[in-house]
Amino acid sequence: MVTVVSGLINVLIIAIYATVAMMIGILFMGIGRKIVARVHNRVGPPIYQGFIDIAKLILKKTNITHGWIYDLALLFSITGIVLTILFLPIGGVKLLSTEGDAFLVLYLLAIPALGFALGAGASGNPNSAIGVMRALVMMLSYELPFVISMVALMIYYDTTSIAEIVASQYGKWAILIPPFAISAAVADMALQGMLMEAPFDIPIAPHEIASGPMAEFGGKHLGSLMIYKAGTIVAYTTLFVDLFLGGGVVMKGGIVADVVNFIVWFILIFLVFTLSLLINTSFPRFRIEQAFKFYWKYEAVLAIIALVWVYWMVIS
């Protein structure tokens, strides 16, 4: 009986954890629209507009379907992004963290994008197919420098656990160590591609391919897509904060410390997200070959330089 109750409590905690993360992501989507509007000298919608839009879309009825793959693909993507969030420490609080989860997170991050690609491909829209191909090329582009940056952290802290990387940064964030300042810059630009923000919004490109993969999504499907987007915002920004900014952990022990760490984590992921938005509003879109060249010729080289620097620091 005790085991059953304990299991139910754990399930409840996981559900609350995932729900709060998604709510924060939806809030950030609204704040993001407001920030972009201000940069463009517009008023913009209220910051809670994302909640209204998702509720409206989810409640809509539709008779359009493109098959079971199209219907289930976004559920597949949302599940993947929720699993990713559960393996990431938030303000030092960890649920499913374990040794080797850094590699597991890299695999999990590919699942949502592939699910999204499956759904878009099943829609039969040629613009969606073009967008999917662009998205897969972008994945191949930004993953190399990002993985190299993560490997540098694993070598320096001698662990493949994200939770241990976070714990090792208590008192001194990785970004304050010279080689990791380079790695952080590389990872931040990779983050720009992961979030599909300009200049790496090539897969959606509204003026070229009518939003690409999203062209055929509407109603419940579009609402699910917005939930997926909210999850990606929290997952990617949290991963960056965990790797380079100590996960937002500034205090240890007790409920007060947990609350303070959560607030710091929230501020840090908001700052990372805001930086992404400001880059988005300041730079024009790259062509696909320009993005590939940027990541493999410049970002990858910088990531390798940081990796060699870290390796020299470890062995010397």
Q: What is the mean pLDDT of residues 59-78?
A: 79
For the chain, what is the domain count?
Answer: 1
More confident residue, 277 or 14: 277
Neighbours of 279 (CB within 10 A): 17
Average pLDDT score over the chain: 88
pLDDT of residue 4: 64
Which residues does 174 contact at the CB level (< 8 Å), separation at least 6? Answer: 153, 156, 165, 180, 183, 184, 243, 244, 245, 246
Query: CB-based contacts of 295: which residues, under 8 Å, 6+ apart?
Result: 141, 142, 144, 145, 189, 190, 193
Contact 260, 250 (CB under 8 A): yes
pLDDT band, very low/low/confident/very high, at 5 (cuts 50, 70, 90): low
Residues 6+ apart with CB under 8 A from 116: 73, 74, 77, 135, 213, 225, 228
pLDDT band at residue 217 using 50, 70 and 90 as cut-offs: confident
Give tens-digit pLDDT for 139-175.
889 999 999 999 999 999 999 999 999 999 998 999 9
Rounded Cα–Cα distance for residues 173 and 183 (Å): 13
Report how far apart, in Å, the C-alpha atoms of 293 and of each of 104, 137, 172, 290 are: 27, 11, 34, 5
Determine the pLDDT at residue 271.
96
CA-to-CA dists, residue 95 to 15, 85, 101, 162, 181, angstroms: 11, 9, 12, 12, 28
Average pLDDT of the residues in 12-26: 89
pLDDT: which is higher, 107 or 209:
107
Contact 22, 58 (CB under 8 A): no
Residue 210: give the domain boundaries.
2-315
Q: Which pLDDT does position 173 carry in this prediction?
A: 95
- Return the pLDDT at 7: 67
Percentage of residues in the chain with pLDDT exceeding 70? 97
What is the per-residue pLDDT for 1? 60
**Which amino acid type is present at position 238?**
T
